[in-house]
Amino acid sequence: MQDQLDKCTECGACDEVCPVYKITGEPVFSAMSRLKTAEMIFYNKEIDDARKESIYNCPKCMQCESVCPEEIKITRLVHEARANLANKGIGPLEKHGIIIKGIQKKSNSVGGDPGKRLDWLDEKFIQKKSDTLLYLGCIPAYLVKDAAHATYHVLKKLDFNFMMLEEEGCCYTYLYESGRTDLAKQYFEKNVKKFSNLGIKHIVVPCNGCLKCFKYFYPDLLGKMDFKVSHAVEIIYELLKKRPELLNKVEQKITYQDPCRLARGEKITEEPRELLKMCGSTLEEAEKNREDAICCGAGAGIRSVFPKLSIDIAESLLKSISTKTIATSCPFCTFNLSYASEKKNLEKEIIYFTRIILDSLE
């Protein structure tokens, strides 16, 4: 880690794009300051409450990394700082602890009733057998149910062979993101055992948090996995580019909001745009798009612990987009931007991308 820290030339490029610093104006909450705070934590130096908060109010959007001329892995250093604080017993924050207890009790990160997890399903649940699992994730299942509904029906209409779980549980990304890697490892192992017993070889997710967790966090703690992980947009794009005649053109002007973990993390930017165009949408690009897209402010635990900051970041993003309708391929973006739009009376409609595809298929 020290070699990463030593690379910093204090050029300030990261601070220019940090969404938290841009909203708060507090130097301690800048990306460059976070690096200094992380170094203090690694060397057991005392940090004040503001510095401690700065480690947890980072949405890990990777915008800082995308502009860093030294290619410093800032997001990883923030994670290591969180884990270090947890190992010392001085992290995470109190509110993280409350949410973690809720996850352990209800097996989801949003306090949802597990008995109502599939109440969006407008047909009888049938437990199919397949080595491909559609893993919905907590936010689609409980908070953005149209993302779950539309993704399920699009894949079904395209004759994609998959199964779902009646009792899915959580991917437990929140445990990892908060720095509680000890707990995360325990729950990751339980999920891996469950997937193995079911013969799962491929996990398809509509949720970007689940994507990153299964694809990177699980191997980080457990080693190589026996399953591959795909985002729903990848699967749907491959299916529809072979059968575009299935889509009816529904003309509308929209802006596609690139999610951080797909655009910067996976370099998936063109597939969702092509799908929306195939549905008849006219795309009007945001000023900052693709790998330069602005973060919605929800990720890495920030929305649950710092809701005002998260909503303020979302408001700033929404005000920078001229179109009324915004499509995205991240349920958390959908949730946070929708909430901010309503809270701030911005009159924006935020849609999870599979809804547009499903409407075009019907």
Q: Residue 268: CB partners within 8 Å, gap ≥ 6?
A: 231, 233, 234, 262, 329
pLDDT in tens, 28-80: 999 999 999 999 999 999 999 999 999 999 999 999 999 999 999 999 999 99
Is the pLDDT assigned to residue 143 strictly greater than 90?
Answer: yes
Residue 33 is predicted with a pLDDT of 98
Ranges in the chain annotated CATH 3.40.50: 94-237, 244-361
| CATH code given to domain 2-87 | 1.10.1060.10
The span from the CA of 278 to the CA of 45, in Å, is 55
Q: Tell me the C-alpha to C-alpha distance, in Å, between residue 319 and each of 42, 255, 311.
A: 39, 13, 12
Higher pLDDT: 127 or 340? It is 340
Do 182 and 176 touch, CB atoms closer than 8 A?
Answer: no
Which CATH number describes the domain made up of 94-237? 3.40.50
Convert the pLDDT of each residue in 152-192 to its tens digit.
Answer: 999 999 999 999 999 999 999 999 999 999 999 999 999 99
We find that the CATH architecture of domain 244-361 is 3-Layer(aba) Sandwich (3.40)
Which residues, other chains included, contact 313 with Cβ-Cβ below 8 Å and sequence gap of 6+? 19, 20, 23, 59, 295, 296, 297
CATH 1.10.1060.10, the chain: domain bounds: 2-87
pLDDT tens digit string along 250-285?
999 999 999 999 999 999 999 999 999 999 999 999
